[in-house]
Amino acid sequence: MPSKLNKFGNDVPYKAIIIKLTGYSYDSIFLEILSSLLIFVRDKFIKLKSKSGINCNKELERIESDIVFSMQRSLGFSKIITASKTKGEQKTASMHNETSSIKLIAQITDSLAEPIIIILDDLDTIKLGLQNQTEDYFKFISKIARVIKDNFISPNVSFIFSLDEHFLKLIRKSNREDGYFSFAINKNLILKNLLPDYLVALIQKHLEKCGLKKKINNFMSLFAFWILYLAAKGHPRLTLSILQSAIKNIAIKGKKHIVEDSDILIAAKEYDLDIPPSLIKIIDFLHTNGLSPATSIKFKKYVDLTEKRLRDILNELSEDLSLKITTKKAGKTQIKHYALPKLKNFA
């Protein structure tokens, strides 16, 4: 693979920061957000207006012990810690609370000199400190969302929550919109998984930014793309990450070939993504044979599934992969035929 591909997926068209949260309690969340923002400002990744009045080094010194103290308190160690400290040390440990942290975060976001996106990641770690990991988890995320929406109203900042599958199931149970997405606060956006054609265009755009003139069909096989789409479920960031890992693995082996399905499967395992062999066979059959019904003996034999099971999986994939469904008559019976959608850049 060309060395230019080393930068594949690294180019971000806007300034975004990811804050990986490690606390097990609500008390530590805003301290962690505040600490991360101050570090980004101190390191000049985030630019503030000249008259912001925020002393990053001083504030970082103030909250260094606060994060530890808050996490220890969430684990039940606060009484032991407090008892062993002098009065001066106790005052330092309790200097920042939820209210003061939120106030300083708001001051930072109000003083931004340019728009940024803040991605809050690993919120699911909070489940480890909850008694009810279903009801309490939903309430916790909702509470964080309300605080952010009510306090950080600057037009220069949007917050995006990176949510796990557990939370998505809770949303489904509460009859909210289904799908793989994050939700952004302030602009009230729902970012769903990209359709195949849009994802192809995204990959093509990144190839061009790497300085490569080749088209995507000369970079990866169509079957490899469908395996990639199935693994990442159309999530753009995960798609590019898996593809980048596949490129690195190919480079390490010293091979010079287009990205194949086997390369994608190996890379996907690095993200703990295992695609069932039956799904791979179904995609392979549709890729090779085109429009096919679940009643096809050849189809059932190839994937080694009963007609009912095959039909159920195809119906699920029709949404995940945007399968093309055509109904044809066989006597008095209407039979559904399934096919992978045609992609313009792979024509």
**CATH topology match: 195-269 vs 277-346:** no
Q: Which residue has the tokens 């499967």?
A: 265
Cβ–Cβ under 8 Å, residues 305 and 314: no
pLDDT value at residue 68: 54
Range with lowest mean pLDDT among 15-24, 124-133, 287-296: 124-133
Split at pLDDT 50, 70, 90, the class of 139 is confident
Residue 170 has a pLDDT of 57
| Number of residues assigned to the chain | 347
Q: What 8-state DSSP symbol labels residue 52? A: -
pLDDT level of residue 121 (50, 70, 90 thresholds): confident
Q: Say which residue the tokens 């690195």 belong to.
A: 248
**DSSP character at residue 108:** H
pLDDT of residue 9: 55
Minimum mean pLDDT range among 61-70, 166-175, 298-307: 166-175
pLDDT(326) > 80: yes
CATH class of the domain defined by 195-269: mainly alpha
- Cα(150)–Cα(21) distance, integer angstroms: 21
To the question of domain 277-346 being in CATH 3.30.565.40, the answer is: no
pLDDT tens per residue across span 73-108: 445 443 433 333 444 444 444 467 788 889 999 999
In 3D space, the residue among 235, 214, 210 whose CA is nearest the CA of residue 11 turns out to be: 210
The pLDDT assigned to 150 comes to 87
pLDDT at residue 265 is higher than 90: yes
Q: How far apart are CA 334 and CA 327, in angstroms?
A: 6
Query: pLDDT over 70 for what percent of the chain?
Result: 73
Tell me which residue has tokens 């990986």: 20
Q: Model-level pTM? A: 0.52
Residue 44 has pLDDT above 70, yes or no: yes
- Among 100-114, 116-130, 237-251, 253-267, the minimum mean pLDDT is found in 116-130
Pick the most confident of 60-64, 254-258, 300-304, 333-337: 300-304
- Alpha carbon distances (Å) from 215 to 209, 222, 254, 345: 13, 12, 22, 7
Contacts of 305 (CB under 8 A, 6+ apart): 278, 313
Task: Give the residue with greater pLDDT, 77 vs 281.
Answer: 281
Domain ranges of the chain: 16-192, 195-269, 277-346
Q: Give the burial string for 175-201 (b: 16+ CB within 10 Å, else e).
A: eeeeebbbbbbbeeeeeebbebeebbb
> What mean pLDDT comes out for the span 215-225?
90
Whether 164 and 120 have beta carbons less than 8 Å apart is answered as no
- The residue type of 190 is I
Gap between the Cα atoms of 48 and 54, Å rounded: 9
pLDDT of 263? 92
- Supply the mean pLDDT for the chain: 77
Over the stretch 167-204, which tens digit does the pLDDT of each residue have? Answer: 555 555 544 443 333 444 444 444 456 788 888 888 88
Contact of 241 with 267, CB cutoff 8 Å: no
Q: With a cut of 80, say whether residue 347 has pLDDT above it.
A: no
DSSP reduced 3-state for 339:
strand
Identify the residue with better confidence: 321 or 259. 259
